[in-house]
Amino acid sequence: MNRRRFIKNFGALPVAVGLPQLAMGQTAQPDGQSLKAGYALRMKRMLASGALPYIDIESSCNSTKIDVQAIAKAMDELNIGLMALSADIGKNRFAEGVRYDDLSKRLLASFPDRFIPIGNGGQPPALTDAPDEFLDAQEQAAREGQILLLGEYEFRHYPSPRQAKRDAEERDVDIPLDGPAGHRLFRLSEATGLPFQIHYEIEDALLPVLEKMLEQYPHARVVWCHLAQVRYLERATRYSPSYVEGLIQRFPQLCFDTAFGDGASTYPPSGQKHSRIWNGDTLKKEWRDLIVAHPRRFLSALDLGQDRMHRINEYDAKHRRFLGQLPEDARHQVAWRNAWRLLFGEEFA
């Protein structure tokens, strides 16, 4: 329902503020069909050149500091097909009353063939300090057909490795997934047909709650971010490729993104290599076998963020190292076909 409404309603994009203006004669108001056609043309050109494009389903930024020209240029140079670049509302702007950042409209006004319209990131203070106000604004954007997916919502989130090194605790978030915000988000996905992303640390105590919510909302379309990223192995004794396969078989609405560190990445508080999918620089056989057996359930993602947008080349290289270890059909499914199907409800033609 929402995808049809998006195509119908996505017509009046404002001229970008603070972004490069379009040339004379170009329109800043693509409708939904022309937007999708522009995406498809870009992808086909890259494929025809022999490149492997991918769709980054999960990156975020501070919209007041992002160098969009540089990101767009890097996407061309690196053959990144599309990017879902979500705006995070920081504490200063949140204190000023901002509850929805329309970065996606501004991006599309200048680069309509590169960026996927996406809601804002549900991280502190949005989902911790004023969840109802934040979700009101996201729901309005969803129901007006302004976005194709909802952002990454942080329900259980440890500080990132960089934040942990500087003892920053503002991202140590613990919001019950089965609390009011979680139920509202799952209901919104069911009502609109929009996918949403969750950051939900992999721990034994948390898994039953996720399973319960997936059972209660069978039509909610969930992307669980960061496959096999386990910060504390002793807290995740149940998690394994076979456990993930069980979820895949039970919950057809569940997908996983593949934003994770490389084989050398260590989580400082635990001292553990937290990307459990690797054995050195090689995919562990059991994880590779899982992806190959269920190639339609995994999505490309870079997880670029506010403090690492300048590392896009490095993140691209790491992601391509992962994709390169998959068989060709699975590689294309994970790289871009699955995201296309998730966004538009159809196979890429």
Q: Are 239 and 226 in contact (CB under 8 A)?
A: no
Of 91, 83, 123, which Cα lies nearest the Cα of 107? 83
Residue 39 has pLDDT above 80, yes or no: yes
Q: Confidence class of residue 161 from pLDDT cuts 50, 70 and 90?
A: confident
Q: What percent of the chain has pLDDT over 70?
A: 91
DSSP state, residue 67: -
Handedness of CA 338, 342, 347, 349 (dihedral sign): negative
Q: Are 226 and 34 in contact (CB under 8 A)?
A: no
pLDDT value of position 30: 60
CATH fit for domain 2-16+28-344, picks 1.10.10.10, 3.20.20.140, 3.40.250.10, 3.40.50.300: 3.20.20.140
Helix/strand/coil for 310 = helix
Helix/strand/coil for 199 = strand
Report the range of poorest mean pLDDT among 22-36, 253-267, 299-313, 324-338: 22-36
What mean pLDDT do residues 182-190 have? 98
* DSSP string covering 91-158: HHHHHTT-----HHHHHHHH-TTTB--B---B-TTHHHH-HHHHHHHHHHHHHTT--SB--EEEEEEP
Neighbours of 332 (CB within 10 A): 19
pLDDT value of position 122: 94
Q: How far apart are alpha carbons 263 and 164 in whole angstroms?
A: 19
Tell me the longest C-alpha to C-alpha distance in the chain. 60
Report the range of poorest mean pLDDT among 6-10, 57-61, 113-117, 162-166: 6-10
Going by DSSP bridges, is the β-strand pair 173-174/152-157 parallel, antiparallel, or unpaired?
antiparallel
pLDDT value of position 25: 32
Specify the residue for token string 């919209």. 63
pLDDT value of position 24: 27
Q: How far apart are alpha carbons 17 and 109 in whole angstroms?
A: 9
pLDDT value of position 5: 53
Q: Are 74 and 313 in contact (CB under 8 A)?
A: yes
Q: Are 58 and 301 in contact (CB under 8 A)?
A: yes
Average pLDDT, the chain: 91
Report the range of poorest mean pLDDT among 26-40, 92-106, 259-273, 290-304: 26-40
- Which helix (H) or strand (E) segment holds residue 164: the answer is helix 161-165
pLDDT digits (tens, 9 = 90+) for 232-254: 999 999 999 999 999 999 999 99
Of 123, 207, 211, which Cα lies nearest the Cα of 163? 123
Q: Are 278 and 322 in contact (CB under 8 A)?
A: no
pLDDT value of position 15: 28
Q: How far apart are alpha carbons 53 and 83 in whole angstroms?
A: 11
pLDDT value of position 26: 38
pLDDT value of position 208: 98
Beta bridge partners of 198: 153, 224
Contacts of 305 (CB under 8 A, 6+ apart): 59, 60, 61, 160
Q: How far apart are alpha carbons 204 and 206 in whole angstroms?
A: 6
Q: How far apart are alpha carbons 203 and 231 in whole angstroms?
A: 9
Q: How far apart are alpha carbons 215 and 109 in whole angstroms?
A: 39
Residue 17 has pLDDT above 70, yes or no: no
Q: Confidence class of residue 169 from pLDDT cuts 50, 70 and 90?
A: low
Q: What token pair was written down for 79?
A: 């053959």
Q: What percent of the chain has pLDDT over 90?
A: 84
Taking the model in full, what pTM does it have?
A: 0.92
* DSSP string covering 230-266: -S-GGG-SS-SHHHHHHHHHH-TTEEEE-----TT-E
Going by DSSP bridges, is the β-strand pair 298-299/254-257 parallel, antiparallel, or unpaired?
parallel
pLDDT digits (tens, 9 = 90+) for 259-316: 999 999 999 999 999 999 999 999 999 999 999 999 999 999 999 987 788 999 999 9
